Structure 1
Amino acid sequence: MKTCPRCDSSLDDEARYCVECGAPQTEDAAEELDEYVRRQAQQTGGGSGGGDNAGDDGGGSGFVPTEELTDREQLWRRGCYVAGYGTTVVALTLIPEIGAFLLVLAGIAILPPVRRLTAEPLGSPLKREVMAGLYAVLALLGVALLVLL
């Protein structure tokens, strides 16, 4: 019997991974785990297949950390957060009005994480232009209802 170098639990001599902590016990198991982690990272967003490389706010399919975004993309993301949260806060102050509900939807639609959430059911994230258009339509309808009613 051998013991795990990480957690000191007893292991079979043929064990590739520790049953307690999951640490790889052989060099092959460590390489296999590294390859699995790389594949998972690419599948969950590390690999941008080409074209637009803008993560969750630029139309690409891959996730790009904030530090790798261009200044324009960072400005777009920040602007979306400001517009989304600002619209939602204003709408919540007017909640008894019928137009406030459309403003809440507009605020939620423009938030950058919504693109990632739409990627699963739709197969790909909504484009920035679609988000902005949806925001504009819902916001204009909401304002119109607030003014007219």
Structure 2
Amino acid sequence: MRMKSCPRCEASIDDSARFCSQCGAPQNEEAAEELDQYVKRQAEQVAAGSGGGGGSGGASGSGDITAADVFGVAAEELTEREQLWRRGTYVLGYATIVVALTQITNPGAWLLLLGGIAILPPTRRLLGLPVGGTFKREAMAGLYVVFVVLGAALFFVL
């Protein structure tokens, strides 16, 4: 039995082997073409299984959490008002976090930090995943206000 080395990983393989036993790389054009066809079939099955995407749907049938579950629907699918709300909450949330981090030695900064995190859209979705949806914007805005008011009060008291 003759041996040759794999051009990809340099492992010793049988001369008649179509794929490397170490890294799985195809060893001839025919094997490479077969692998390419297999990958295309798998990609088509995955695309067909996802139902073509779209919508703000929950988790897929397998129970996996998708990026759409965490980050929500694509920006193109949001109304102008929803896009404005999302941009505003990102600005408000990150600005609050920056202010809190610059004053981190003050105990009130920790409440500001929590408020900044609470208003961010991904937080709203992540906290809502266990209950099967997202928390209402108004609830998260209320939570933000509570944290910011308590944080500001601690700033002035201490």
Tell me the TM-score normalised to structure 1 length: 0.67
Q: Could you tell me whether the CA contact under 8 Å between 2:72 and 2:125 is conserved in 1?
A: no
Find out whether 1:8 has 2:33 as its counterpart: yes
Match of 1:23 among 40, 64, 67: 40
Find out whether 1:110 has 2:119 as its counterpart: yes
Kindly provide the amino acid, as one letter, of the partner of residue 105 in structure 1.
Answer: L
Instruction: List gaps (5 residues or longer) in structure 1.
Output: 11-16, 50-61
Structure 1 residues 98-107 or 110-119, which shifts more?
110-119
Distance 2:127 2:47 in 1: 30
Call closer, same or farther: CA 1:138–1:33 in 2, change over 3 Å: closer
How many aligned positions are there?
119
Distance 1:33 1:122 in 2: 27
Kindly provide the amino acid, as one letter, of the partner of residue 64 in structure 1.
Answer: V
> Match of 1:23, SS?
helix
Structure (1 or 2) with the larger CA radius of gyration: 2
Find out whether 1:94 has 2:119 as its counterpart: no
Q: Could you tell me whether the CA contact under 8 Å between 2:96 and 2:116 is conserved in 1?
A: yes
Distance 1:34 1:98 in 2: 50
User: Displacement of 1:24 after TM fit?
Assistant: 1.5
Call closer, same or farther: CA 1:86–1:35 in 2, change over 3 Å: same
Q: Could you tell me whether the CA contact under 8 Å between 2:100 and 2:112 is conserved in 1?
A: yes
**Equivalence for 2:144:** 135
Q: Could you tell me whether the CA contact under 8 Å between 2:117 and 2:123 is conserved in 1?
A: yes
Kindly provide the amino acid, as one letter, of the partner of residue 8 in structure 1.
Answer: E
User: Displacement of 1:70 after TM fit?
Assistant: 1.7
Q: Deviations over 1:91-128 (max 9, x none)?
A: 10110000000000000000111122112223221110
Instruction: List gaps (5 residues or longer) in structure 2.
Output: 1-29, 58-70
Superposed, 1:37-76 pairs within 5 Å as 37-38=50-51, 41=53, 46-48=54-56, 63-76=72-85
Percent identity reads 53
Call closer, same or farther: CA 1:72–1:147 in 2, change over 3 Å: same
Q: Could you tell me whether the CA contact under 8 Å between 2:93 and 2:115 is conserved in 1?
A: yes
Tell me the TM-score normalised to structure 2 length: 0.63
> Match of 1:38, SS?
coil
